[in-house]
Amino acid sequence: MPIVTLEISKGRTREQKKQLVEGITDLIVTTLNVPPDWVTILIHEMDRDSIGKAGKLLSEDD
């Protein structure tokens, strides 16, 4: 049973997360030849002030 964990910054809409889950599920089903109900996707949303990239907090660009 594939389990995928995504860590993304907060602010995505429900529709964006739905599309992300559908797309990743389709990819895993096709690639691993498993049924969709075997695929579990966990989305962890993080505040932009808790993520650093290139020496800066993501919230600095807001």
Please give the residue range of the domain that contains residue 37.
3-53
Catalytic residue among 2, 9, 57, 58: 2
When pLDDT is cut at 50, 70 and 90, the band that residue 43 belongs to is very high
Indicate if 2 belongs to the active site.
yes
When pLDDT is cut at 50, 70 and 90, the band that residue 36 belongs to is very high
Tell whether 44 is covered by a domain: yes
**DSSP-assigned letter for residue 61:** G
Tell whether 42 is covered by a domain: yes
Tell whether 61 is covered by a domain: no
Say what percent of the chain tops pLDDT 70. Answer: 100
| Number of domains forming the structure of the chain | 1
| Predicted local distance difference test score (pLDDT) of residue 61 | 81
Tell whether 62 is covered by a domain: no
| Predicted local distance difference test score (pLDDT) of residue 62 | 76
User: CA distances (Å), 13 to each of 6, 8, 37, 44, in order?
Assistant: 15, 12, 24, 14
